[in-house]
Chain A
Amino acid sequence: MEPFTQHTGVAAPLDRADVDTDQIIPKQFLKRVERTGYGQYLFWDWRMTPEGKERPDFVLNQTPYAGASILVTRDNFGCGSSREHAAWALRDYGIRAVLAPSFADIFRENADQNGIAALELAPEDIAVLLERAEREAPLRLTVDAELGTVSDADGVVARFQLDDFRRTCLTKGLDRIGLTLQHVDEIDSYERKRWPALAR
């Protein structure tokens, strides 16, 4: 997994609560058997007309947000379906960090697994950033996972907490299966206790 330590990019405001993964990537794009190539379908119904033209009213289609890599949004981002395709689509599109007051549990885990920094900021900070991302577009922010800070050109504008485990996984890009397999002896011993006859 690609590590996430620090990232600087343009912030796009998506001023909605409860953005579900069906919006992030609709079902018709879940039929592929690969992990890549989903970016073109990100926010499909919001981003494109039924005829396949870009909708000028959607934030990511607007000139100041071209190439935006930080999404600022409201509560409960990524709710609904567990589809990791949502994280793959965001990453493939070029989104490296999502800032919100809260995330749905499964989405946060999927983001972690794909080197997307899903960071919880105080609701007041989100409100300010949503407003600034629109008024000062293109607003460039720097997200630092080690320091737990979001900064603009003048300095720190918000702080966030990451527990040690998440921060280490994110900043080192750790392979979670590899991490678990370091404890394979303990898995073996658990299995021997529960299934004494199990050959291993």
Chain B
Amino acid sequence: MSQRNGGSGPRTLVEKIWERNLVRAGDGEPDLMYVDLHLVHEVTSPQAFEGLVLAGRKVRRPDLTFATVDHNVPTTDRSLPILDQLSKRQLDVLEENAERFGIRLLDIDDPRQGIVHVIGPELGLTRPGMIIVCGDSHTSTHGAFGALAFGIGTSEVEHVLATQCISQRRPRSMELLLEGTPPAGITAKDLILAVIGQIGVSGGGGHVVEYRGEAIRALSMEERMTICNMSIEAGARAGMISPDQTTLDYMRGRELGPSDDELDVLAPEWRRLATDDEAKFDRTVRIDVSALEPQVTWGTNPGMVVPVSGVVPDPRSFEDAAAREGAERALAYMGLQAGVPIESIEIDRVFIGSCTNGRIGDLREAARIVEGRKVHPRVHAMVVPGSTSVKRQAEAEGLDRVFKEAGFEWREAGCSMCLGMNPDILSPGERCASTSNRNFEGRQGRGGRTHLVSPVMAAAAAVHGHFTDPRGLA
């Protein structure tokens, strides 16, 4: 997308959004782009609001700004007071700021509270064609709807609050073409982990990725969100998928989304956003998914991943010196030896949740594996629904009973152990099968060892106490 296409030629999804939201062409400077939806949470916003107050500025479009609490909130009994005073203060400060600037806030007691990237779509706030930003790198999740959605820092949060615009250079575009039909039982998480494994954790740098191919078209909206969510783990500025009938069907009947009448008007517009057949990308990467296996990470970044039937790789097998040293450090941190079969790795903890895999479909899939089985005696397992609505839905379907009877903890909604800002953390040396998005050193607690997997793999590991191909259990 470095070259500008005229209005008439074939264009990509991101080019169409760029044209729709361009306030001012930068002419050597970055372009000024209009933001349709600004999502705000408690951790990356207080300094931005403080900056507004100090400069005597207002929020330009409180009606396009939406706040919730997710990173910091306890997932235990919410009728009890929050013990961590610093966490409590961040929640209080967001409440004060929302009140002061007239921003809608779904607070900890709201029945719609949840992880910002789970509730945006489920409430119908996320729509095709939008530019969506949030002070959180997993904002890329919303790209599943054909929106251009990306994470920003706190200074940019302040900038968007004050101007409703973001200053951006036109990104390069990358087509990520998944070729072939994945075998039965391969999840969206396996697809995206395999993609990151192939292109690397900086492979998408400077690019907006559009995921394409029949394997993507066949996915549900929830699965597409899992894919787009982890775009940032490949270093991409954003990840997106062109809108289609699946997108339109999802948009119907959302609490804060368009009415049925509005949808009838919007649907054709949204369909036209899809990348045109002859449109050109700056780069195309093809990945054959027809023989893909369930994936498990072995190291300390999401690109360090192998099939479940594989072994922990030998650092000497990496040609690049930096990659070799990185692998050696990763194995030392993870307490693993080269050549060890993945299926023999024993785990202590299981975490099912997060903006990557905390949606109702994820919980249904995991429950299917867990039903009638027991969590391995060594393993401490928990489920943290991505939103309070997801939790309520799961309870209506009896999934909570399935998990609890198997020995899982059933928690309140939030980011929880994905980043461990609340009390849900690993102890040093503990090994966790996690459905979250980052296996960085200390991410889930200092000294904790994280293996990223799909919800079904996490469920299977909870039952067996080690990794195993979940396809044999269903």
Query: Beyond A22-B440, A79-B202, A187-B23, is A17–B323 a contact (Cβ under 8 Å)?
Result: yes
Judge whether B155 and A22 touch: CB under 8 Å.
no
Tell me the nearest residue of chain A to B419, going by C-beta: A27
Judge whether A164 and B440 touch: CB under 8 Å.
no
Judge whether B163 and A33 touch: CB under 8 Å.
no
Query: Beyond A45-B446, A80-B137, A106-B151, is A183–B47 a contact (Cβ under 8 Å)?
Result: no
Q: Which residues between 141 and 200 of chain A lie within 8 Å of chain B, taking CB atoms?
A: 163-165, 176-177, 179-181, 183-184, 186-187, 190-191, 194
B-contacting 9-mer, from A3-11, A60-68, A109-117: A109-117
Judge whether B153 and A113 touch: CB under 8 Å.
yes
Judge whether B153 and A32 touch: CB under 8 Å.
no
Judge whether A180 and B167 touch: CB under 8 Å.
yes
Judge whether B47 and A34 touch: CB under 8 Å.
yes
Q: Which residues between 89 and 114 of chain B lie within 8 Å of chain A, taking CB atoms?
A: 89-90, 93
Q: A40 to B131, alpha carbons, bound, how many Å?
A: 36
Query: Beyond A22-B442, A177-B55, A180-B163, is A190–B202 a contact (Cβ under 8 Å)?
Result: no
B87 touches A (CB below 8 Å): yes
Residue tally, chain B, CB below 8 Å to A: 65
Residues of B near A164 (CB, < 8 A) are 28-29
Residues of B near A135 (CB, < 8 A) are none
Q: A163 to B26, alpha carbons, bound, how many Å?
A: 13
Residues of B near A191 (CB, < 8 A) are 34
Q: Which residues between 30 and 53 of chain A lie within 8 Å of chain B, taking CB atoms?
A: 30-35, 45, 50
- Minimal beta-carbon separation of B40 from chain A (angstroms): 13
Query: Beyond A181-B163, A183-B23, is A82–B440 a contact (Cβ under 8 Å)?
Result: no
Q: Which residues between 112 and 139 of chain B lie within 8 Å of chain A, taking CB atoms?
A: 135-137
Judge whether B443 and A22 touch: CB under 8 Å.
yes
Judge whether A190 and B34 touch: CB under 8 Å.
yes
Tell me the nearest residue of chain A to B444, going by C-beta: A27
Judge whether A28 and B165 touch: CB under 8 Å.
no
B156 touches A (CB below 8 Å): yes
B24 touches A (CB below 8 Å): yes
B205 touches A (CB below 8 Å): yes
B411 touches A (CB below 8 Å): no
Judge whether A165 and B29 touch: CB under 8 Å.
yes
Q: Which residues between 11 and 36 of chain A lie within 8 Å of chain B, taking CB atoms?
A: 15-18, 20, 22-23, 26-28, 30-35
- Minimal beta-carbon separation of B24 from chain A (angstroms): 5
- Please give 17 more A-B residue pairs, beta carbons under 8 A apart, in addition to A26-B442, A27-B443, A105-B205: A17-B326, A18-B202, A22-B442, A28-B420, A31-B89, A33-B47, A50-B447, A74-B322, A81-B137, A82-B137, A82-B151, A104-B205, A105-B206, A109-B152, A113-B153, A177-B57, A180-B163
- 6 smallest CB-CB distances across A and B, nearest first, come from A84-B153, A113-B155, A33-B46, A31-B86, A110-B153, A82-B151
17 contacts between A and B (CB under 8 A): A16-B322, A17-B323, A34-B50, A75-B202, A80-B233, A80-B438, A82-B136, A82-B137, A102-B205, A109-B153, A164-B29, A179-B167, A180-B159, A187-B23, A187-B164, A190-B23, A194-B34
Interface residues of A, Cβ cutoff 8 Å to B: 15-18, 20, 22-23, 26-28, 30-35, 45, 50, 74-76, 79-84, 87, 102, 104-106, 109-110, 113-114, 163-165, 176-177, 179-181, 183-184, 186-187, 190-191, 194
